[in-house]
Amino acid sequence: MGKMKLISIIAVLIIFGFSIIQIANKDDEKKESTLDDKPSFKLSSNVVLNKQNTVLTYDAILNKDDFQKMDSLSIHFNIPTEKRIDEDNNNIYSTINKTSHRKIEYISNSGYYLYRDTEKSGLAFSSKIGETIPTDTECVSIANDILTANGLMGNGLEFSEVKYNFEGFAEKGSDIPIEEWIYSKKVYFTTNLNGIKLEGAGGKTTVTIGENGKIKSFMAANREFESNGQMNILSHDDAFAKLENGESIIEYTNTMYNNREIYIDDSDFCYYLESIYDSNPIPCYYFKGKFTDSNDDFVGYVDASK
């Protein structure tokens, strides 16, 4: 199964000249920019630039059974919930006990269910917690079970990958770990629209698994996508040229890439949702690869709309 570690260091405590750090998965963070000092891109011979000219367009349609699913999740996690109206007149269903370390919420205008358990493990900041984390296969099974049991596994949702969250020790004043271990695993699912992947923050369903298989968080959508027509799009060649020129880049995962060389080894057409509140997937081409000077991951999305 695919595993990726995208690093961000947060110093949280200093003891005996060592820093305890969390090395968090930063895949969901969005960045926007145009490139002033453009990097150079090399395209792998394995990447075939397709000749797609038109694609279907889609609208997100919210399902109407949010009451039933919220009731199911409330029972599953033993968390009482209540309905309230926010300042934008959206229906929000959330936990009644605001002091609890566990929270579940449904936001009607996005169709997303959000769950988080912030209780600290008794093994927090101990390498022993890594010994209690289930295998990748077990984590995928746990994630499948919670989504299926609560009716959130439909709408073309498919398993994508497992990523690891790490924590560890570093010398005082350093953000480079001298010892690290896994403290949770995040299982990703993606939606396919007529066989084409939906990417971006608004296209993800995630379940985070902690010690002893405990569900620490999840974000899952309760909506479907209906086609509303067709549109002409840029050619793959033109999209790559725009990437080289720093145009129409929607997202990238490393901001420090000016004047650097990037080797692209995976590229294709996809749909993209910038956030969970967006309802119109953007036709895009994605370009994924590595920085040749560091082996860090790169991903860029180019708007394919003409």
Looking up residue 220, the CATH number of its domain turns out to be: 3.30.310.160
Judge whether 75 lies within some domain. yes
Q: Are residues 46 and 80 in the same domain?
A: no
- Considering the domain architecture, whether residues 110 and 208 belong to the same structural domain is answered as yes
Q: Which pLDDT score is estimated for 164?
A: 92
DSSP code, position 120: P
Tell whether 25 is covered by a domain. Answer: no
- Rounded Cα distance, 85 and 93, in Å: 9
Residues 196 and 134 in one domain: yes
CA 250-256-260 angle, 5° bins: 95
* Residue 95 domain boundaries: 61-164+184-225
Q: Mark whether 47 and 72 lie in a shared domain.
A: no
Residues 195 and 69 placed together within one structural domain of the fold: yes
- Is 133 found in the same domain as 69? yes
Structural domain ending residue among the three candidates 225, 256, 276: 225
What does the pLDDT profile of the chain (306 residues) look like in tens digits?
444 443 333 333 333 344 444 555 544 444 444 445 667 888 887 787 776 678 999 888 876 555 567 778 888 888 877 776 666 655 666 665 555 788 888 877 778 888 889 887 665 566 677 788 999 999 999 999 999 988 888 767 889 999 998 887 777 766 676 778 888 999 999 888 888 889 888 888 999 999 899 999 999 887 888 899 999 999 999 999 988 887 766 655 555 566 788 899 999 999 998 888 888 899 999 999 988 888 788 888 999 987
In total, how many domains does the chain have? Answer: 2
Q: Does 219 share its domain with 235?
A: no
User: Do the domain assignments include residue 10?
Assistant: no
Is residue 7 included in any domain, yes or no?
Answer: no
146 in the same domain as 236: no
Q: How distant, in Å, are the alpha carbons of 9, 207, 213, 285 from that of 140?
A: 27, 9, 11, 28
Is 151 inside any structural domain?
A: yes
- Pair 116, 52 in one domain: no
Q: Are residues 220 and 117 in the same domain?
A: yes
CB burial class (10 A; 0-12, 13-18, 19+) of residue 163? buried
Is 265 a domain residue?
A: yes
What pLDDT was estimated at residue 47?
Answer: 82
Residue bearing tokens 């077990």 = 138
Choose among 60, 67, 277: nearest CA to 155: 60
For the entire predicted model, the pTM comes to: 0.74
* 127 and 235 both lie in a single domain: no
Q: Are residues 97 and 73 in the same domain?
A: yes
Tell me how far apart the alpha carbons of residues 139 and 206 are, in angstroms, rounded to a whole number. Answer: 11
Domain annotation covers residue 87: yes
